[in-house]
Amino acid sequence: MSVELPAPIGILDEHPEWSARLLAELERRRLPFEKIDHSSHGYDPRDRSRRYSVVVNRTSPSSHRRGHAGVLFYTEPLLDHYESLGIPVINPVAAYRFEKSKALQVELFERLGLRYPRTVVVNHRAELVKASAGVRFPVLVKPDVGGSGALIERFDSRVDLEAAAERLDFGPDGTALLQEYVEPKDGAIVRVEVLDGRLLYAIRIVRGTTDFNLCPADICRVEPADPGACPADAKPGLTVTRWDAPTAVVDAVLALTRAASIDVGGVEYLVGRADERVYFYDVNATSNFVANAPAVLGFDPTPRFVDFILRVATRGTRRAAA
């Protein structure tokens, strides 16, 4: 595809590596782009020039775990500024709000009538202990602002939770979720990736540990012995395979991402071991795609992502006319 863009593509990402494959594909096609590192950044609201043909928002809530806590709340006004200039933003400010708040994600599950683990949202440790009287143990305590499983802890009894309550870290916004732990069947979760309102792929991640970081980009960093699986030296006991999610689940994922204004991202669910029912539990508006994608999926999703970026940049809007 030969395309002349009036301005470069802006890639908003403070992580030093996560956009490497995307940037390599842009370079391969000789497309103009600028990586916007908003860990150290500034803008003038009076400056109304459109510096980018499109902005791809790849902000992750885990930025605060890399010493970039300022990114978390700076991103909202920055994205709003870009949008106010008429620059189309892939994963706009509306999507980012869901990305960085697990409480908003749970509210979305509730609004759409989707099953999720019983959850109570609190902003004080006394409320956490009080809420525990109404939930079934074991439970997880999750910070509202997540990212790569950071700060999630499991408690098997109310006594254990009460003993640990004062030391728990609720994360950057002081809000936490008390959530009933649903044991996944076969220790597996499924992540369904979408692009431009369509299913891109689904992968099944099986874990043999209690690690809550199930980022598929972190898991698979070596060439797999089995072309259908993707073991990682860095994360022993984890495997990834391509998966055919049920039609009803895919429909729910598309409804979720549409309601959350997510253009590219993933929704995670599990099947409960005890009842074999589907539980949704995480919405991601930052997608790094699975590593070793051709081996795991049979194709590389990055060129398709760049095709979508170009469509948005050339038509000047995130959505095609109805």
pLDDT score of 318: 87
Predicted confidence band of residue 76 (pLDDT cuts 50, 70, 90): very high
More confident residue, 88 or 68: 88
Does position 255 have pLDDT exceeding 90, yes or no?
Answer: yes
Q: Is the pLDDT of residue 226 over 80?
A: no
264: pLDDT strictly greater than 50: yes
Q: What is the mean pLDDT of residues 133-144?
A: 96
pLDDT bucket at 236, cuts 50 / 70 / 90: low
Looking up tokens 């305590």 gives 141
194 closest CA partner among 147, 280, 263, 243? 263
When pLDDT is cut at 50, 70 and 90, the band that residue 237 belongs to is low
What is the pLDDT at residue 306? 98
In 3D space, the residue among 270, 64, 63 whose CA is nearest the CA of residue 179 turns out to be 270
Split at pLDDT 50, 70, 90, the class of 30 is: very high
Mean per-residue pLDDT, 140-156: 88
Question: What pLDDT score does 138 carry?
Answer: 97
Note the pLDDT of residue 208: 66
**How do residues 117-130 score in pLDDT, each as one tens digit?**
999 999 999 999 99
Mean pLDDT of the chain: 90
Query: What's the CA gap between 116 and 71, in Å, rounded?
Result: 29
Q: Is 22's pLDDT higher than 90? A: yes
Spatial distance between the Cα atoms of 169 and 159, rounded to a whole number of angstroms? 18
**Banded model confidence at residue 233, pLDDT cuts 50, 70, 90:** very low
Give yes or no for residue 311 having a pLDDT over 90: yes
Q: How many CA atoms lie within 13 A of 300 on its CB side?
A: 9
Residues 10-14 have a mean pLDDT of 97
- pLDDT, position 64: 86
Mean pLDDT, rounded, for 140-153 = 86
CB atoms within 10 A of CB 246: 12
Query: Strands 9-12, 33-36: parallel, antiparallel or unpaired by DSSP?
Result: parallel
Domains and CATH numbers, the chain: 9-95+304-315 (3.40.50.20), 99-115+183-299 (3.30.470.20), 119-180 (3.30.1490.20)
Closest CA to 61 of 34, 95, 84, 33: 95
Cα of first residue to Cα of last residue in the chain, in angstroms, is 24
pLDDT score, position 210: 58
Average pLDDT over residues 90-98: 97
Cα angle value 251/253/259 (rounded, 5°): 105
At residue 156, the pLDDT reads: 97
Q: Choose between 4 and 235: higher pLDDT.
A: 4
Percentage, residues of the chain above pLDDT 90: 80
pLDDT mean over 228-244: 62
pLDDT 10s digits, 165-213: 999 999 999 999 999 999 999 999 999 999 999 999 999 999 865 555 4
Secondary structure (3-state) at 177: strand
269 conformational bin, left if phi > 0, alpha if psi -120 to 50, beta if neither = beta
Model confidence over 190-199: pLDDT tens digits? Answer: 999 999 999 9
